[in-house]
Structure 1
Amino acid sequence: MPWIPALKSTARSGFALERAVTEPQAALRGALGVALVLFPSLALGTPALATSAALGAFIAGTATFQRSFRPRPVLALGAAAGLSASTFVGYLASPWPVLFVLVVALWAFAAGLAWALGPTAGIVASTTVSVMLVVVSLTENVGQAARHAGVIALGGIVQAVLVAVWPVRRWGAQRDALADAYASMADYARRLRQDPFAAFDPEALVTARNAAALTPHQARRRPAELSGMRQPMERMRPAMAALADPRVGAAEEGPQRDRAREILAAAAEILDAVARSIRTGRRVTVPDRVYRSMAVPAHGPVLSGPARQSALRLMGLLADTVDSLETADDDGETAGGGRVPGHLPRPSVPELLPIAAHAVRHQWTWSSPVLRHAVRLSAVCALSYTVGSQLPLGHGYWAPLTAAMVMRPDFSQTYARGVARIAGTVLGVALASALLFLTGTSVWLCASLAVICIGCNYLVIRTGYAAVSLFVTGYVVFLLAMDGAKLVDTAAERIAMTLLGGALALIAYAVFPTWQTTRLPDRLAEYVRAGGRYAATAVDAFGRSSPAGRLAVREALLDLRAARAELVTASRQAAHEPVRHQGLRPSQLRGARVSMAALGRTAMLLEAHLPASGTEPAPGAAAFAALLRQETGRAAEAIRLDRPVDFSAVRAGHDAWAAQAADDPAAALVLLDAGFLVEALETLQEALAG
């Protein structure tokens, strides 16, 4: 879209507020952590020392609210360690202006690269730049700098201890992720009743899998009801799809369709009950009428063939899931005495170092959004600090502080946060200054107002960035006002520096952008390649029936989900960018995604009927799988190079296979589904040619 509509769209999203508040207890705990270091530091030390302690506690507390599945105390301690290091290193370089600007630039560059490890690491790393700029202005010698670094670390330790001794919804993030996944399965079952070809969004399953990755410490303490619950859910998905699909499941109309709808409705109720049980930690309660509706009718089975097989598999998985919740005890064991399944390993903090190095090396290319963000952040922080320090306004650090807080690797977030930050900061400075003008600048009053402000910030931290900016700005103003600065002058100076930093951040992205629009062909190519690999692996499992084949199908499915997630994210970001689509029109992208969804759904039908180990191989399946993998790989390369896509070889290969194995019952089902795969690929070809 053009620049003006793009800017209007991002500005509206920046001001958007959601009706979502944090747990009041969590907000109170975070504010208490700030108070526990702010007031003693103020009583025993100086206002400057108390400011550093409060900033450390504030950032460490903010880290515990991030969307991460790591233990919250670890997040607080990690943030405090980074803050302490940044402030001490910054002070050592502060006597020499040129050296300090260089240190700011290098630290900002490293903070930008931290996005390679994920949003949580990137956000926390950005705050270390901001706190470095503030605290350096409060210290006068190395001893003071060390004390300030120490109290900052103390703030993180206090927040970590509070989280450990006052847990709010212990394992709440993991519970919510798994419960959301089961709720999404319940919604899918309901939609299949009305639309047997309903699309399935695996985002909730991806989040649940990320939540299931645990450190050894977490694994020893995981609640029993969170153990081994994902695998049955994953196996329900293809069973439900196969039951609902009239091509391989229940007939499109008649008693079979009515029976399939009845089973899917009961499955939805059970899945909702499971989701509630996981979310709350209470026992699962399913009405008896639901179980009765799933029992075989008195006049005998209605479903037959693959449809009956899918229904029985679904019923068995539902029963196993409910039984596992009802029999699990607090020791992580089932009533039968068996141990629960293992867990996905999450690296510990020391083990993250080689992983971080590998992630940074992977992003070390000029086309990487992370590397370009690091360069932008470094240049803007250095430039805004230099310009701000030369202006006769004072508080020059406020400009790079604003830039560091708003800049993100993508256009939409940077501009949305930039506008929201500017508006929130201006309003926050004005309101905080007016309040201090009316009440006075008593040190203890300022400290009390700061604690109230940060408590409100924690409460609305998920509401929107404009609200967060308002309270964070008030918090910082109250802290810095403890030294009795002139209110009118400091308010005007901070507003001016905020406008400068925000403007430089927005200009930097326009001058040196990273457009997701231009990367869409690459994302779609990877999606097509991953989809072809998943479909080919599922077909190949019929030609080489073995446990390894099932594992390969699972791995291919995870790769497909990752490729789809990257394409969806890029598409959302590209929708707000002021860039013309190059080589891939929006209509082509929409059609390609619909076709790939059909391909994935058909491969899911194959997954639902994978042969047992030792079953007679379907003749021709392995050869067709190799052809499918080869041709989808070629298509992916053609998409990347903006060339026509041609799947005629796949159609010819399927026709030859059908003629060769037409009378072989072992190949009947896989041949039928393979035909649907070919149709989906031909639809993809038409969509890209349109």
Structure 2
Amino acid sequence: MSRRAAPVPRTAMVRGALGAGPLLGAGIATGHPGPGVLAALGAMLAGVNDRPGTRRKGMVGIGLPAVAGSLGLLVGALVADCAGRWAAVPVLFLVGWVSGALSAVGALWSAAALQMLVTTTIGMGMPMPGPAWTKALCFLSGAIWLLLLRLVLRAPGHGGPARSSGEHEAVAAVFDALADALNALGGPHASAARRRLVAAQQQADEALRLMRLLPWPGRGGAAGHPLAERFGAAVALCEASIALLWEGRAVPCEVADGPRRLAAAVRTGGPAGLLPSPVSDSVERAAFDRALLQAAVVFDRTLHGVAAPGTRNTAAPSRSWRSMLSPAGREYGLRVALCVAATGAVALVLHQVHWYWLPATAAFLVKPDMGPLFSRVVNRFAGTVAGVLAFLLCTTVLGGFGAPATVALVVVAAALVPFSVRHFGLQTAVITVLVLSFVRTAGDTEAAPARLLETSLACAIVLLVGHLPRLADTRVRVGHRYAVTLRCTERYLRHVLTGPGGAHAPRRSGAEGLALRNAAYRALAEARAAAETAAAELPGPYGGKKRDWAAVTASVELIVDAATVCALRVELGVPRPSPAEVEQVTSALSATADALEDGHGAMRPAPGAGPRNCRSLRDVMTQLHGIHTLTTAA
């Protein structure tokens, strides 16, 4: 089923139009097009990262890749100034490995690493006067210009005081998604609704974490405490709703009215009003009713912006940098390094003037976390053809194609960048028009035909390298994601089920437990995305039998949900499993994670039946046994 693309805010298109075009025009007007081209390039790449979200998320999403891009341009320019042309090949291999390995850390670092690799290539190959540090500053200034536009030109808010940064809308979206999930309970769309709920919770968690790290002038960190406490109430409700989903029993439609009213209260700043009466006919429903009652108390206390002392931090722990050295990080790095180094060497052998286009094209294609390889190659080639044809058509229609026409074309194309990110082929076409306009401004009027040839070569090399025996097997990068999910689940269970206390002891640290649970669901979302990408890959000549990653995804989802239910039931007073049973389950999680991490290793013995007196942990063991069967059969 196709997903409807999110609408592109008109302000994003306005920012694009006011980004690269004016900077390029300023460079031409001053008689120094080189700095103008670099600044426009920085604004263009910043526009690619100008995605919808809160103001702070936009600052980080644009700023971090911009800093990485300026660093890459500085390194590339220094190599070009101090070494020969062939020094580019080992530099591309090294930077490509770092860029690929950073992709295993997270989406934001992946975008920054890609921009660093592309600008390193441009810095080594694009002939541009001036010292290296001025080139890097010109590039960074273009990104800063678009970032300033992002801060000044913002989409209209949802009303109410202090809503412009978007964090309130992110928290309200959690309650709305919770209401949708409650309405879907017991039906065929329950699992999909639960995924949307977890995704909304993760987005709100990220927004609030950035709000704590980047307090906005005039609103300080204290302004975020009431909203953070309301988000904590939403997290507790989400946890209880997952238990209801695990129970598999539909609830009355009026149960969803409570989260709807809480969402409206977050948006307007008013009271939540009357909430549904509790009907605690099961442990799971009792947990939900109790969470709803606590949410009502929190909303009443924070109605006037007053939070309880010591508001808990529910943010998930930051990503471990050890992901760079994990099997997936090493595989990512090797694939990217081989592709960009090979394309760079081929371009230098052919003595191409714009030799840097080949490795830059390969960098956009080969990143394993950005979609199926074959479809990206096809879309890249088709988009390049469309962009070249559009550029040639504009050149023919506009006749001499002087500086004003070039700037106008850049303005129109840059305005389309926020819209083009919906599809890789369309994005390629728009960026091709922009790049050819930049090159023409720098004095090269015959670059369009060469662009087609170099794109064809880059696509062929990426397909060849991407299907090498060691790199074509998806078990390493997908298995690693699932292994991370299972290890996060193991740490979560150990936290809530072990330690001092009796059989009915509550969780030792609610904030830490929630953070561990959030980490497990975040890892699960990344594993699901990696599995979907692997399923869309064409089977390579050395790829072997493809695993049923969809079935593994379903099993891991049930494992994380069952762990959440077990923790919730223990907190409500259900007797805690014995230490021996907890050790049995957590050891099985660790063993299965180790087996998934080593895609070529032998699986350990199948997990046992699990605790007899704990249905949720028994479900965990049942799903682990299913994963064992699926992975050993492949």
CA–CA separation in structure 2 for the residues paired with 1:594 and 1:412: 21
CA–CA separation in structure 2 for the residues paired with 1:678 and 1:600: 13
What's the counterpart of residue 506 of structure 1? 463
Shift, 1:446, TM fit: 0.4
1:189 has 2:159 as partner = no
Shift, 1:167, TM fit: 3.7
What's the counterpart of residue 657 of structure 1? none
What's the counterpart of residue 325 of structure 2? 364
CA–CA separation in structure 2 for the residues paired with 1:522 and 1:130: 27
What's the counterpart of residue 234 of structure 1? 235
1:28 and 1:455 in contact (8 A); partners too: yes
1:452 has 2:412 as partner = yes
CA–CA separation in structure 2 for the residues paired with 1:415 and 1:241: 37
CA–CA separation in structure 1 for the residues paired with 2:119 and 2:74: 11
Instruction: State the AA in 1 paired with 2:355.
Output: G
Distance verdict in 2 for CA 1:230–1:42, change over 3 Å: same
1:413 has 2:414 as partner = no
CA–CA separation in structure 2 for the residues paired with 1:245 and 1:85: 48
2:328 and 2:476 in contact (8 A); partners too: no
With normalisation by structure 2, the TM-score equals 0.80
Instruction: State the AA in 1 paired with 2:113.
Output: A
Instruction: State the AA in 2 paired with 1:341.
Output: T
1:467 has 2:426 as partner = yes
Shift, 1:434, TM fit: 1.7
Aligned counterpart in structure 1 of residue 142 of structure 2, from 147, 151, 155: 155
Describe how 1:205-284 pairs up with structure 2 within 5 A. Answer: 205-214=201-210, 215-218=212-215, 220=220, 226-240=227-241, 261-262=251-252, 265-275=253-263, 278=266, 281-283=267-269
1:21 and 1:460 in contact (8 A); partners too: no
Aligned counterpart in structure 1 of residue 300 of structure 2, from 317, 320, 323: 323
Instruction: State the AA in 2 paired with 1:187.
Output: D
Identity of aligned residues (%): 20
Describe how 1:105-120 pairs up with structure 2 within 5 A. Answer: 105-120=93-108
What's the counterpart of residue 677 of structure 1? 617
Aligned length: 604
Describe how 1:595-614 pairs up with structure 2 within 5 A. Answer: 597-598=557-558, 600-611=560-571
CA–CA separation in structure 2 for the residues paired with 1:116 and 1:600: 21
CA–CA separation in structure 1 for the residues paired with 2:165 and 2:90: 42
Shift, 1:561, TM fit: 2.5
Moved more, 206-215 or 466-475: 206-215
Equivalent residue of 2:621, what SS? helix
CA–CA separation in structure 2 for the residues paired with 1:601 and 1:470: 43
Shift, 1:684, TM fit: 5.1
1:240 and 1:314 in contact (8 A); partners too: no
Shift, 1:42, TM fit: 1.7
Q: Deviations over 1:218-250 (max 9, x none)?
A: 372665663222321222245446668879xxx
Q: Deviations over 1:468-488 (max 9, x none)?
A: 1111111111222224544xx
Question: Radius of gyration: which is bigger?
Answer: 1
Aligned counterpart in structure 2 of residue 46 of structure 1, from 17, 27, 32: 32
What's the counterpart of residue 629 of structure 1? 586
CA–CA separation in structure 1 for the residues paired with 2:54 and 2:472: 26
Distance verdict in 2 for CA 1:105–1:441, change over 3 Å: farther
Describe how 1:458-537 pairs up with structure 2 within 5 A. Answer: 458-461=418-421, 463-483=422-442, 485-486=444-445, 489-511=446-468, 513=471, 515-518=473-476, 531=489, 534=492
Moved more, 398-407 or 547-556: 547-556
2:358 and 2:454 in contact (8 A); partners too: yes
Shift, 1:406, TM fit: 1.9
1:424 and 1:466 in contact (8 A); partners too: yes
Describe how 1:140-151 pairs up with structure 2 within 5 A. Answer: 141-143=129-131, 145-151=132-138
2:347 and 2:358 in contact (8 A); partners too: yes
Describe how 1:66-145 pairs up with structure 2 within 5 A. Answer: 70-94=56-80, 96-134=84-122, 139=127, 141-143=129-131, 145=132
CA–CA separation in structure 2 for the residues paired with 1:328 and 1:683: 46
Q: Deviations over 1:293-347 (max 9, x none)?
A: x347xxxxx756757744641440342365367x144xxx35xxx5682546799
Shift, 1:59, TM fit: 2.0
Q: Deviations over 1:92-125 (max 9, x none)?
A: 3326212344434433333333324422232233
What's the counterpart of residue 647 of structure 1? 608
Aligned counterpart in structure 2 of residue 63 of structure 1, from 25, 49, 55: 49
2:386 and 2:429 in contact (8 A); partners too: yes
Instruction: State the AA in 2 paired with 1:509.
Output: G
Instruction: State the AA in 1 paired with 2:447.
Output: T
Instruction: State the AA in 1 paired with 2:19.
Output: G
Shift, 1:680, TM fit: 5.7
CA–CA separation in structure 2 for the residues paired with 1:417 and 1:396: 21
Moved more, 492-501 or 634-643: 634-643
Moved more, 449-458 or 80-89: 80-89
Shift, 1:28, TM fit: 0.8
CA–CA separation in structure 1 for the residues paired with 2:169 and 2:70: 33
1:30 has 2:20 as partner = no
Instruction: State the AA in 2 paired with 1:397.
Output: Y
Instruction: State the AA in 2 paired with 1:210.
Output: E
Instruction: State the AA in 2 paired with 1:184.
Output: A
1:378 has 2:337 as partner = yes
CA–CA separation in structure 2 for the residues paired with 1:599 and 1:585: 19
Equivalent residue of 2:508, what SS? helix
Instruction: State the AA in 2 paired with 1:59.
Output: L
Equivalent residue of 2:6, what SS? coil
Equivalent residue of 2:397, what SS? helix
Aligned counterpart in structure 2 of residue 178 of structure 1, from 147, 171, 184: 171
CA–CA separation in structure 2 for the residues paired with 1:112 and 1:94: 23
Distance verdict in 2 for CA 1:174–1:581, change over 3 Å: farther
Instruction: State the AA in 2 paired with 1:166.
Output: L
CA–CA separation in structure 2 for the residues paired with 1:382 and 1:687: 38
What's the counterpart of residue 166 of structure 1? 153
Q: Where do 5+ consecutive residues of structure 2 fail to align?
A: 158-162
CA–CA separation in structure 2 for the residues paired with 1:146 and 1:76: 21
CA–CA separation in structure 2 for the residues paired with 1:189 and 1:269: 10
CA–CA separation in structure 2 for the residues paired with 1:631 and 1:618: 22
Distance verdict in 2 for CA 1:582–1:79, change over 3 Å: closer
Describe how 1:559-570 pairs up with structure 2 within 5 A. Answer: 560-570=520-530
2:232 and 2:314 in contact (8 A); partners too: no
1:66 and 1:120 in contact (8 A); partners too: no
1:399 and 1:500 in contact (8 A); partners too: yes
Shift, 1:190, TM fit: 1.2
Instruction: State the AA in 1 paired with 2:208.
Output: A
Shift, 1:127, TM fit: 2.7
What's the counterpart of residue 660 of structure 1? none
Distance verdict in 2 for CA 1:686–1:466, change over 3 Å: closer
What's the counterpart of residue 575 of structure 1? 535
Distance verdict in 2 for CA 1:237–1:195, change over 3 Å: farther
Distance verdict in 2 for CA 1:161–1:343, change over 3 Å: farther
1:228 and 1:340 in contact (8 A); partners too: no
CA–CA separation in structure 2 for the residues paired with 1:507 and 1:481: 32
1:127 and 1:405 in contact (8 A); partners too: no
CA–CA separation in structure 1 for the residues paired with 2:340 and 2:247: 60
2:237 and 2:288 in contact (8 A); partners too: no
Equivalent residue of 1:218, what SS? coil
